[in-house]
Each structure stands twice: as C-alpha cells, then as structure tokens.
Amino acid sequence: MMNKTFYIETYGCQMNFADSEVVNSILMSQGMLPVQSAEEADVIFVNTCSIRENAESRVWNRLKEFRSLKKSRGDLMVGVLGCMAERVREQIIDKEKLVDIVVGPDAYRDIPNLLAEVEDGRKAVNVLLSLEETYADISPVRTSGNGVTAFVSIMRGCDNMCAFCVVPFTRGRERSRPLESILREIDELNHQDYKEVTLLGQNVNSYKFENIDFTHLMDEASSLYPEMRFRFSSPHPKDFPEPLLHLIAERPNLCSYIHIPAQSGSSSMLERMKRPYTREQYLVLIDKMRAIIPGVSLSTDIIAGFCDETEQEHLDTMSLMHAVEYDLAYMFAYSERERTLAQRKYEDNVPEKVKKRRLTEIIRQQMSIQEKNNKKEIGRRHLVLVEGTSKRSDQQLSGRTDTNKIVVFDREKYLKGDYVEVEITDSTSATLIGTPVEKSSIARFYSVPAYA
Ligand code: SAH
Ligand code: SF4
Ligand code: F3S
C-alpha cells in the first residue's frame, strides 16, 4: 500500500470525525498519503452514520457517485467505515457491488490487512465489535480541522439502550479509555499548539477507568493544561455528577457550556423512550447547573414525533424548551431504526405530516429564544478563542466564547489561536458580532467578571 493515496469522507457525529483521525493514523503508518479530494485518491473511504434515515440515504447516494468513478477507473477502491458497516455489509458487497471494503467501528486496525485482501481480488469485511478496543495507543492524525480545536475520544460504545437509538447496536458495548492515554493525547495537542479539547463519548458521565471517574479526568486535564480550554459531549441527564458542576464553576478553563440532551419534555414520553428521568428531575438538574455555574450556557437534543406522541406530549416538549431557554438545540423528526426497542415493540405511528409540523413548531420557538438570548449578550465581554477567518470576510476573525457562542470581529492584529477579550456589539439567532478589546489569557480574563 506504500504511496497509495486515500481520502476519507466523514458523516455523523463528532465521534465519527475523531475515528476518521484514527484511521488517518493507521493508513499513514502504512506509508499511504492523505489527499484533499475523492477524485485524487486511490482509495476512498466513507465513514458512515446510521442515526436517522436521511443520514443513511446521503451515504447511499454518495456511494453511487463513487460507483461511476470506479467504472472509469478500474483500480479505484471504495471502503465503508463506521456505523452503517454492520447493518448493510451484505447489501453493499453482494447486491449493489458498490464497495470493496467494509469495516466496523472497532476493526480499524485491520484496515491494512483488508486492503491487501482487496488487492488479491477479494472483497474484504470486518465488522466485529469489541469489548476492549479504544485505540488508546494510536495518535490520531488531524488532516482537516482548524488547528486550534480538537476532539479526543475518551470512551466508545453505549449501554443505555434508549428506545429510539441505533448507536448501541452500531458501536457496541461501552468501554472507557485509560486515563494516561487520554492525557498523552492532550499533551501532544498542547505541543502542536491546539488550544481547545472536547472530550467525547456517547455518555461521558459514565466514564470510568479503574478508579478514575469523569470528574477526576476533567480535574486532571484542566489542571495540567491551564491555558487549554476543555469541553465535553455528551453527558446523560440521568446521572450527571454534581462535583463536576462545582469543578466547572471554579476552573476558568472548563467551559461554562453543557450539552444536556432532554429528547422530550414529557415524563410519559421519556418513559417510553427509556430515558430514566422525569421532566421534573430534568428541570431540577437544570436549576442546579444554573445555581452552581452562573451564566452557564445550555444546549439540548430533541426528537419530535416519537411513537404514540400525543399533542399534549408535544406541548410538554415546547414548554420545557421555553422554560429552559436553551442557547442551542439539535432538533430532529423521529426516524425508525432497525433493531431498536421502538422498532421491535412500538409502532412508528405519528404521521409524517404531524412529525414535520411539530418539528417546525419546535424549531421556530427555539430560533426566537436564541435570538432573544443573544440580544442579552450585547454589551457583555467574552473571552473568544480565535478559530480562523470568518466565512463572510477575510478582514474578520471567527471564534467561540467560553459559552460556545460564535463571535465574529475585526481581524486587527489578532491571529488564529489567540484568546481575545471581545465586547459584544450586535447579534443574530446564530452569531454574535463584537469588537476586540485586547489579547488575553484564560487566567487574566477570569480576574474580570464575565457577566458584569
Ligand atoms: N449519545 C448522545 C446522542 C447521540 S445521537 C446522547 O445521548 O446525548 C444524537 C441525537 O440524535 C440524540 O440525542 C437524539 O436526539 C437523536 N436521535 C437518535 N436516534 C434518533 C432517531 N431514531 N430518530 C431521530 N433522532 C434520533
Ligand atoms: Fe443513543 Fe441513548 Fe446511547 Fe445517546 S445515550 S447514544 S441516545 S442509546
Ligand atoms: Fe451516527 Fe454512529 Fe455517531 S450512528 S451519530 S456516527 S455513533
């Protein structure tokens, strides 16, 4: 495989993007070279997502495009990685003849062998899930991205079995990565001048390696690297550790932003979803977050139109979102997935039209909440970590606040990777506009009250 070029196209969640960086590392250690487009590559990989029907259809369409590319270039290899691998391997290899290689999320170390099998004229598949694999010893290679912010996987799989969700089936059992391998990766990022790390897992608050829990991990990372910022995604509302809230409140480099997916605002719906908390318990947790971390920014995931959803349950979701006033929300129409509890035991019986209407109502309300929340930011000062040039103008920079809001401001003398104190002057529902005040450090900024 020496000198062959490869291209990885990634769909799905941040975990999948982090996995593609692990695959980069595995391929490059074989002497293969990453390229920036599918057209230039000898091997194209698609790292896939199964979370909703439309995520899968995008991948299928893309694979069909690659099939025509294969027709004009006999030696081109196409591989499917990630969450769709197990479910569709037969379809992919036998019936549709779309791809040569199928590799599940726990089998990436096997890719070099699989490529060799394909060179011998065979179709190669490994979709075995593992109880141990965490790729702990592999240093991910970040070929795309901004060079300032990075994702670090701290665990794999999920044992929660929410009734709607396919992840436990595509990614297997939950397992945590050893603390020292996580800290080693953060140290490498620090040496490469990265400034922000988001620790990733499908349920980060169940991180447990030997006697180290998630709060302990955050404590270690943030005290070892005081000029790096730390975020995490996603925690589960059912067992959110209170000591972590206190730690976030007192550590300037633990970001005051928590993504805390509710899924629904109705207790009866949450029960059907197998989310083991009630609306009331969720709201108590939110109050606790706000009391312990003043100014904390919150975001959520919401599903509209899950099985048997009544109009009242939908209104309960609307009222929960209205009560919490999230700064950001990822909102989806329910999409039935094979093998899940919902697919086996419930009926996907909310008509498509009703799902769409409810989703639209949810999104519309959320946009107006965000607009209102962002207006309140005008006049405040935030510490912004510059991630790069703004999409709209190269005279402007773009970065994020500690509270995860995007801020655009004039470039002046500032550079990518700088922490800049910015005063907010204007806003939309998605972006803040500001004026830079001065370059700063995390510690210095925090001697000034952020919410003055
Ligand atoms: N582990 C993460 C979620 C990963 S999936 C967590 O629990 O926070 C991201 C989001 O996709 C979920 O939070 C849920 O809102 C949504 N989702 C999952 N399965 C879905 C389905 N079948 N239909 C629609 N949305 C779904
Ligand atoms: Fe899916 Fe629930 Fe696990 Fe999140 S916690 S990945 S929604 S099963
Ligand atoms: Fe998709 Fe798999 Fe992530 S299903 S959301 S890529 S865990």
List, for residues 301-343, the tens digit of each pLDDT value.
999 999 999 999 999 999 999 999 999 999 999 999 999 999 9
Ligand 1 close to Cβ of residue 275 (< 6 A): no
For 381, list phi and psi in degrees, rounded to 5.
-110, 140
Provide the residue ranges of all domains of the chain, joining segments of one domain with +: 5-126, 132-137+144-255, 282-373, 381-445
What average pLDDT does the segment 181-195 reach? 97
Distance 413 CA to ligand 3 centre (A): 40
Residue to mutate, 50, 58, 173, ligand 3, most ligand atoms under 8 Å from C-beta: 50
pLDDT digits (tens, 9 = 90+) for 363-400: 999 999 999 999 999 999 999 999 999 998 999 999 99
Please say if the pLDDT value at position 162 is more than 90.
yes
Distance 372 CA to ligand 2 centre (A): 30
Which string of DSSP letters, residue by residue, matches 340-362?
SHHHHHS---S-HHHHHHHHHHH
Pick the ligand that lies closest to the CA of residue 158: 2
Q: What's the CATH architecture for 132-137+144-255?
A: 2-Layer Sandwich (3.30)
pLDDT, residue 446, reads: 60
pLDDT digits (tens, 9 = 90+) for 65-101: 998 898 888 889 999 999 999 877 877 777 677 899 9
Distance 120 CA to ligand 2 centre (A): 39
Distance 135 CA to ligand 1 centre (A): 24
In 106-174, beta strands by DSSP E = 124-126, 149-153, 155-156
Q: Does domain 5-126 have CATH number 2.40.50.140?
A: no
Are 231 and 244 contacting, i.e. CB atoms less than 8 angstroms apart?
Answer: no
Mean pLDDT of the chain: 94
- Residue 422's SS3 state is strand
Ligand 1 atom with least separation from CA of 335: 23
Please say if the pLDDT value at position 48 is more than 70.
yes
Ligand 2 close to Cβ of residue 162 (< 6 A): yes
- Of the pLDDT bands very low, low, confident and very high (cuts 50, 70, 90), residue 452 is very low
pLDDT, residue 451, reads: 45
pLDDT, residue 444, reads: 64
Are 103 and 92 contacting, i.e. CB atoms less than 8 angstroms apart?
Answer: no
pLDDT, residue 95, reads: 67
pLDDT, residue 449, reads: 45
pLDDT, residue 450, reads: 47
Q: Which residue has the higher pLDDT, 448 or 291?
A: 291
Which string of DSSP letters, residue by residue, matches 25-70?
HHHHTTT-EE-SSGGG-SEEEEEE--SSHHHHHHHHHHHHHHHHHH
Q: How far is it, in rounded angstroms, from Cα 126 to Cα 101?
A: 8
Q: What's the CATH architecture for 381-445?
A: Beta Barrel (2.40)
Distance 236 CA to ligand 2 centre (A): 8
pLDDT digits (tens, 9 = 90+) for 168-184: 999 999 999 999 999 99
Closest-CA residue, ligand 1 atom 14, reads 301
* The pair of three-digit structure tokens given for residue 356, joined into one six-digit string: 């769409």
Ligand 3 atom with least separation from CA of 47: 6
Domains 5-126 and 132-137+144-255 share a fold: no
pTM: 0.95
The fold of the 282-373 domain, in CATH, is Transcription Regulator spoIIAA (3.30.750)
Q: How far is it, in rounded angstroms, from Cα 278 to Cα 268?
A: 8
